[in-house]
Amino acid sequence: MSQWSDAPLSLTDVRGVDHVLELIGGDNIGQSAAALSSGGLIAQIGFLKGADIVLSAVPMMLKRAVIQGITVGHRRAFEDLVRFIDAHGVRPVIDKTYSFDDVPSAFVHLERGPFGKIVIDLRS
């Protein structure tokens, strides 16, 4: 049976990916660990199958991987923020838009330190 971690490993010539957004629960985190590059980060952003994880420590140790939890505020604060944005017409400053084919240039721009947001247009 094929594992989803096979795809990022194949796309990166077995190097692995630097960041994985992980929904904790069950044994899926093992796939996240397998997909990571050396020194990679797993950002735990929520729960899929409960709060428990099943993971061998060896791949995490060998890759010097980091698991970091990410929290968000409560729903009321988010709804307050959305109302404020709507009421005041807040819009993001877009520095530049790149086509999907030009993603490498977008990353170079990002490293230079953009003034505003860098956008990747997936329609092009």
| Res 1: pLDDT | 47
Residues spanned by the domain of 113: 88-124
| Res 124: pLDDT | 65
- pTM score: 0.62
Q: For the chain (length 124 residues), average pLDDT per consecutive 10?
A: 84 94 83 93 84 83 92 89 96 93 93 88 84
Let me know whether 50 and 108 are in one domain: no
Q: Which of 29, 15, 37 is nearest to 68 (CA)?
A: 29
**Residue 80 covered by a domain:** no
Say how many domains are in the chain.
2
**Residue 81 covered by a domain:** no
79, exposed or middle or buried, with CB in 10 Å at 0-12, 13-18, 19+?
exposed
Let me know whether 67 and 10 are in one domain: yes
| Res 2: pLDDT | 64
How far the first Cα of the chain sits from its last, in Å, is 34
Let me know whether 5 and 51 are in one domain: yes
| Res 41: pLDDT | 95
Q: Could you give the angle at the alpha carbon of 26 between the alpha carbons of 22 and 29, nearest 5°? A: 35
**Residue 78 covered by a domain:** no
| Res 91: pLDDT | 92
